[in-house]
Structure 1
Amino acid sequence: MKSLKFILAGAVTLLVILIVVSNTVETTGPAPARRSSAADDGQLKIGVLNSAPVYYTEGSGAKGFDYEMALGVSESLGIKPSFVPMDFADLFTALDAGEIDMIASQVSVTEEREKAYDFSHPYFVTYLSFTTPKNSPIRKLKDVNGTKVAIVDGTAQEGILKARFPKAEIVKRKNEAAALEAVAAGKADSFFYDAPFTAGLIKHAPIPMEERIVFPSDKAPIAFVFRKGDGLRDQADKAIDEMIVNGDWLRIKTDYFEQYPLSERFREQGVE
């Protein structure tokens, strides 16, 4: 009888040990892998700024320069695109978290950004502008120093201002609407941003505004952004090069930026 009790006790003890070990293995095992690229589910998630001319809706369809360029890349890759609109300040956070695979939002290539991300071949160059109230004394670049300049936080405009206009006071805001509000409220004298956005923004500005200064910057190319080491970057490069050679790039550029002179960067690639 005692032997039977010992056997039963041993069996119970062994069962408890197995349960404990089983639970320990389950809870300490590897966490589910984070989405690493579009190849994970056959869909290319593209982060875009929900603002013309990057990405906007017209009627029942989407439009935009960066939208059409990204669409061309996804078609070349044979991957279904999914566009995710958000504020510019949230784009890099979403890319870091694996919520999107690529940023297509007039992002300038900078030294600092290249340390953390991979960039595609350029598909545009930066055209910059200062937007001011209609009665502003700011009329030329030399007038900017010593004034308060609103920018969208996280954009390359901050570095450009510090380098070119060291005496300007930078006023950071989360998005374009907030930056224009700062100018309207007298907290900033101008809004420094990418020129392609200006016409659309002025229409919805809280006070009458105008684009006072526009200048191109070949040293600030625009490119798609990927996480470091994502092989999609190399495939995107091939797609962009092909769009430039076959004329698709020039057609899209003309549709949205016909008034902008062709950059030397693209002339060198044979675009005429």
Structure 2
Amino acid sequence: MGGFMIELQRGQILTRRIWLKSSVSLLFASGMVARAAEPAVLRVGFIANYVPFSFLKNDGRLAGFDVDTVEALLASLGMQMQAVTARYGRLRELAKAGQIDMVGNQLLMLAENRSLFEFVRPYAFNSLVCVQHEDDERDFLSLDDFVGRRLGVLRNSGMEAQARGALGPSVVGYDHTDQALAALGKKQIDAVLEESLIVEYLLERDGLPLKVGAPFTAPQKQGLAVVRGNPLLSKKLSESIPTLTRSPEFRQISSRWFGYDVSKPRVSHVTADEL
């Protein structure tokens, strides 16, 4: 009989193919051959109570636009997400301690953030907008236009500090943006300044008699924040963002939360495609 053969104690003849198959099976059984690597797990921090980007639902589950987007992005790279929720200050502490790999919300690319994080290419446009009552025809294009007016802002925010410095006591601070918008709907204040995506989500959700004017500022530079020391992860995520934003999955996520494709800039509720 031609070919390589091994004679067993009982006189059985083992051909090369059967011998190789048996040998490989023994190697797997003994753990000598490495199993396929499990998907990488990234520890992703999300800002708690940051509607509609990341928040806990009544049943305790984490939800939000950023949550869905980051999960889809990591899945496209064969990675899994281990979510951690906390206030932003606590997330910074966790990042410094090496207990999270990245922040799953798009953060402003400020110097204080760049010192701790490497930023990923943005996947959504966001800008500061002025919200007015739907029957208000006035134009508010700068803080100077609010002199003598009651302006609603989010309490303990950078916007509040800037507005109070320019306008003083006429600025009204609110703990939550939806409270400011509700007050505006009742005409208790003249306008609200807030991020465009937050405003658009809340107006759609609550059905208030309000409108969004022209952007108060240019789109803000922001992006996912990877803890410094992992440039390969930052590069891989940035390279994957364009593919994600062109995908039907991202358009579905974006439409579910905001009603349009937020990867494209929007002016006065008109997307770039509609201009």
Q: Structure 1 length as normaliser, TM-score? A: 0.57
**Match for 1:263: what amino acid?**
P
* Correspondence 1:150 to 2:156: no
The aligned counterpart of 1:263 is: 265
The aligned counterpart of 2:119 is: 119
Contact between 1:48 and 1:91, CA under 8 Å: does it hold in 2?
yes
Contact between 2:154 and 2:177, CA under 8 Å: does it hold in 1?
no
The aligned counterpart of 1:30 is: none
**Match for 2:154: what amino acid?**
I
Q: Deviations over 1:58-90 (max 9, x none)?
A: 878644221111102222343321223333454
Contact between 1:89 and 1:154, CA under 8 Å: does it hold in 2?
no
Q: How far did residue 217 of structure 1 move? A: 5.2
* Correspondence 1:84 to 2:47: no
**Match for 2:265: what amino acid?**
S
Contact between 1:89 and 1:175, CA under 8 Å: does it hold in 2?
no
SS at match of 2:73: helix
Q: How far did residue 119 of structure 1 move? A: 0.6
Which residues in structure 2 correspond to 1:140-179 (within 5 Å)? 140-142=140-142, 143-145=145-147, 150-151=153-154, 153=156, 157=159, 167-169=166-168, 176=176
Contact between 1:104 and 1:223, CA under 8 Å: does it hold in 2?
no
Task: Give the 3 Å change call, closer, same or farther, for CA 202–90 of structure 1 in structure 2.
Answer: farther
**Match for 2:252: what amino acid?**
R
Task: Give the 3 Å change call, closer, same or farther, for CA 212–255 of structure 1 in structure 2.
Answer: closer
Q: Distance in 1 between matches of 2:174 and 2:90?
A: 9
SS at match of 2:109: coil
Contact between 1:134 and 1:210, CA under 8 Å: does it hold in 2?
yes
The aligned counterpart of 1:35 is: none
The aligned counterpart of 2:70 is: 70
Contact between 1:139 and 1:212, CA under 8 Å: does it hold in 2?
no
Q: Distance in 1 between matches of 2:89 and 2:135?
A: 30
**Match for 2:253: what amino acid?**
I
Q: Distance in 2 between matches of 1:225 and 1:115?
A: 11
Q: Distance in 2 between matches of 1:53 and 1:166?
A: 29
The aligned counterpart of 1:236 is: 237
Q: Deviations over 1:159-201 (max 9, x none)?
A: 9x57xx97344979795369849x79xxx97543212223665
Which residues in structure 2 correspond to 1:29-48 (within 5 Å)? 42-48=41-47
SS at match of 2:98: coil
Task: Give the 3 Å change call, closer, same or farther, for CA 173–236 of structure 1 in structure 2.
Answer: farther
Task: Give the 3 Å change call, closer, same or farther, for CA 134–100 of structure 1 in structure 2.
Answer: farther
Q: Distance in 2 between matches of 1:96 and 1:152?
A: 27
Q: Distance in 1 between matches of 2:109 and 2:101?
A: 17
Q: Structure 2 length as normaliser, TM-score? A: 0.57
Q: Distance in 2 between matches of 1:139 and 1:128?
A: 15
Unaligned runs of 5+ in 1: 1-40, 265-270
Q: How far did residue 243 of structure 1 move? A: 0.8
Report sequence identity in percent.
16
Task: Give the 3 Å change call, closer, same or farther, for CA 214–94 of structure 1 in structure 2.
Answer: farther
SS at match of 1:255: helix
SS at match of 2:127: strand
* Correspondence 1:251 to 2:252: yes
